[in-house]
Amino acid sequence: MVGFNNAVRGSGMDNWVQGAQDQIAFGRVKKGFVAINGNSGVWTREFTTSLPNGSYCDVISGKLENGNCTGPKIKVQGGKFTVSVPARNAVAIHSNSKLPSSQSSTPTNDVKPVQVTFTETAHTQNGQKVFIVGSIPQLGNWDPAKALALTRTNKNTKWEIGVSLPSNTRIEYKFIKKSGNHVSWESGENRVYTTSNKSGQTVAASWK
């Protein structure tokens, strides 16, 4: 957050939002915006900001590097943007994380997709399935309703899915278990993985 603090220094506060328990968001006039979610569920909503129109790099999950975002990209249009803030995490954008105009109209990083296989060892109960959800659109933008279902590859505990993801991109993700409308999240910090520029990557994990 050092870069955020430097970018917004001297600017006043605006557009305060109080969400559910442990959820707050606020802007710094024409300089930045931050949403903090201390809750156990994903916080998805439209926010109002005084930042100019354009696309910004989320500086919590990535940064602006060589004219592009290493993590999620957030588009501001007409003083509004919609974002899903992961559970017990935050999202922040500021004037210095704004993409050049040539990149702002591009909804995702201009990189080729690569195939990544995720395997998860997890015990499930009858009716439960394992899903993956994460910080980029391909993994549902932290929305459990958009999570991708893994396929059980043996009788008991191993689950697997192949996903097409942008190359050279840092992602955060978690596995969840779903049974009907009930969702169980993994404990602990978000998992982090950076894709390479080659397909055939495999990421193995166990439920935590």
- Full pLDDT tens readout for the chain, 208 residues: 778 989 999 999 999 999 888 999 999 999 999 999 998 777 888 999 999 999 999 999 888 988 888 888 899 999 999 888 888 889 999 999 999 875 544 444 445 788 999 999 999 988 899 999 998 889 998 999 999 999 988 767 899 999 988 888 888 999 999 998 899 999 988 999 998 888 889 999 999 9
Nearest to 180, CA basis, from 144, 143, 132, 135: 144
Residue 38, classed as helix, strand or coil, is coil
pLDDT of residue 185: 93
Handedness of CA 79, 5, 111, 192 (dihedral sign): negative
The Cα-based distances of 129 to 28, 58, 132, 204 in angstroms read 42, 31, 10, 17
Which amino acid is present at 29? V
Output the pLDDT for position 111.
Answer: 54
pLDDT of residue 105: 46
Interatomic CA distance for residues 131 and 8, integer angstroms: 38
pLDDT score, position 109: 40
Decide if 3 contacts 96 (C-beta within 8 A): yes
C-alpha to C-alpha distance for 2 and 189, rounded to whole angstroms: 21
